[in-house]
């Protein structure tokens, strides 16, 4: 991994940036934090930050090939 790739993976994103990156609302990210099951995040004082690499890893871990494989229940909050 190059230095530039490493910086990109470890870059801290705000809630808005993370939501844009995942194409979900900030409210959805907040719901995932409350209920669990969402991507890893860091709490820095009152600020919540997401590492881009953690978002990518969470997406990879949640890939499925059919609806019968999905372990996530629909919540209507997307």
Task: Choose from 2-11, 47-56, 62-71 the range with maximum mean pLDDT.
Answer: 47-56
pLDDT for the residue numbered 31: 97
pTM: 0.75
* Residue with more model confidence, 71 or 11: 11
- What fold is seen in the domain 3-62? Arc Repressor Mutant, subunit A (1.10.10)
pLDDT by residue (tens digit) across 12-28?
999 999 999 999 999 99
Quickly list DSSP for the chain: --HHHHHHHH-EE-HHHHHHHHT--HHHHHHHHHHS-S---EEETTEEEEEHHHHHHHHHHT--SSGGG--SPP-S--
Q: State yes or no: pLDDT of 76 exceeds 80.
A: no
As a whole number, the mean pLDDT across the chain is: 86
């Amino acid at each position: 991994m190059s230095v530039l790739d490493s910086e990109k993976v470890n870059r801290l994103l705000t809630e808005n940036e993370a939501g844009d990156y995942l194409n979900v609302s900030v409210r959805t990210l907040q719901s995932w934090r409350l209920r669990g099951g969402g991507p890893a995040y860091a709490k820095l004082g009152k600020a919540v930050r997401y590492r881009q690499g953690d978002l990518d890893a969470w997406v990879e871990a949640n890939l499925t090939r059919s609806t019968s494989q999905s372990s996530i229940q629909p919540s209507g909050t997307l």
